[in-house]
Amino acid sequence: MPPRRADVFVDPADDPRNDGPSPAGERATLLDYLTFQRQTLELKCAGLDAAALARRSVEPSTMSLLGLVRHLADVERTWFRQRLAGEGGVRRFSSPDEPDGDFDGALPEQLLVDEAWAAWREEVAFADAWVASAPDLVRERIDGRVGQ
């Protein structure tokens, strides 16, 4: 007999994700959703060792949790750093020669796990900082006003 839905969800008291009141405004709302999704990724990976994180649990798919962390690190990087901030650069975990490198290269090694989380956290921090500073940059481009 499959489990009841309530039994497969984390106990609300143990759920680290924000369930507070909805923020006001479009920017805060979008950031709230993005933060929730990021925390969900961390929640789904919590407590697993390198072997479990790299396990292809739904073969034949090459998808693994570690592959997802690597993939999402590059998604954050592509959209925020490369496209929105215009910094250029290349993806960390895939390339034109290895377009699925983010998933294919997700091997059960602690060094790779540490590297993936470090990359993801760096890109998330960049994204948050960029989003927070975007109105300042926009205003400065309009009339040079800075500060506050």
Partner 1 sequence: MSEPFPSPTLPFVSRTEVLLGYLAYFRSVLLEKLDGLPEAELRGSRLPSGWSPIELLRHLTYVERRWLVWGFEGEAVPDPWGDERDGRWYVAPGETLEALVAELATQAERTRAVALAHELDEVGRPGERWDGAPPATLERVLLHLVQEYARHVGHLDVVRELVDGSVGE
For the CB of residue 4, give the shortest distance to partner 1 in the complex, in Å.
4
For the CB of residue 122, give the shortest distance to partner 1 in the complex, in Å.
22
In the list 11, 12, 13, 33, the residue contacting partner 1 (rule: CB under 8 A) is 33
Task: Work out whether 86 is an interface residue with partner 1 (CB under 8 A).
Answer: no
Nearest Cα neighbor of 85 from 142, 147, 128, 119 is 128
Task: Work out whether 63 is an interface residue with partner 1 (CB under 8 A).
Answer: yes
Task: Work out whether 18 is an interface residue with partner 1 (CB under 8 A).
Answer: no
The Cα 121–Cα 118 span in angstroms is 5
Binding window for partner 1 (CB under 8 A); candidates: 21-29, 110-118, 127-135, 137-145: 21-29
Please list, residue by residue across 64-83, b when 16 or more beta carbons sit within 10 angstroms of its beta carbon and e when fewer do.
bbbbbbbbbbbebbeebbee
| Residue 90, Cβ density class (10 Å: 0-12 exposed, 13-18 middle, ≥19 buried) | exposed
Nearest Cα neighbor of 123 from 102, 148, 146, 98 is 102
Task: Work out whether 5 is an interface residue with partner 1 (CB under 8 A).
Answer: yes
Binding window for partner 1 (CB under 8 A); candidates: 45-53, 59-67, 70-78, 103-111: 59-67
Distance from the first to the final alpha carbon of the chain: 60
In the list 11, 14, 46, 58, the residue contacting partner 1 (rule: CB under 8 A) is 58
For residue 24, give the 3-state DSSP assignment: coil
Binding window for partner 1 (CB under 8 A); candidates: 58-66, 95-103, 107-115, 125-133: 58-66
Q: Where does this chain bind partner 1 (CB under 8 A)?
A: 1-6, 8, 21-22, 26, 29-30, 33, 36-37, 58, 60-61, 63
